[in-house]
Structure formats: C-alpha cells, structure tokens
Amino acid sequence: MQETALKGRKFTGSTRAPKTYSTSRSCSHKGCDTRLSQYNKREFCYSHAPTKYPRLRGRIVKAEA
Ligand SMILES: [Zn+2]
C-alpha cells in the first residue's frame, strides 16, 4: 500500500495576510504630502527616500582612482 497523502498542515483559506502598516501615512519629508502605501514600510516617498541608487544596469561601477 502506498501512502499518497502527505501528513501535515491543512490548507486553510486564511494564509498569512500581507503586513500592513498604519493606513494613510504620508512622507516624513517636511512639506511633502505624498501618500505612502500601507504596504510600504518606508517613511519617505520615492523622491525623498534617503538611499537612492541610480540605475546601473546591473553593473557594479567602481570608483576610478
Ligand atoms: Zn516625500
């Protein structure tokens, strides 16, 4: 006899819901009213995000000495 059924967790309809942060937050930048997504955990909008990397097409650009 073969055991075809795997024992384990049942599939329930409610899997983990996406994490939500507080609703209707806006950018922390002074004077900026850009709404942030509730799924976005950043505190700044895209234009005020502290770390901005230019598009490098996947290359690592070395600083030339
Ligand atoms: Zn902003």
Top pLDDT among 24 and 22 is at 24
Task: Say what the pLDDT of residue 32 is.
Answer: 93
Distance in Å, CA 38 to ligand 1 centroid: 15
Distance in Å, CA 4 to ligand 1 centroid: 55
pLDDT digits (tens, 9 = 90+) for 31-53: 999 988 877 778 888 888 876 56
What is the model's pTM? Answer: 0.41
Tell me the average pLDDT across 6-19.
Answer: 68
Question: Could you tell me the residue ranges of all domains in the chain?
Answer: 18-45
DSSP letter for each residue of 6-54: PPSPPP-S--PPPP---SSEE--STT---EE-TT---SS-GGG-S----
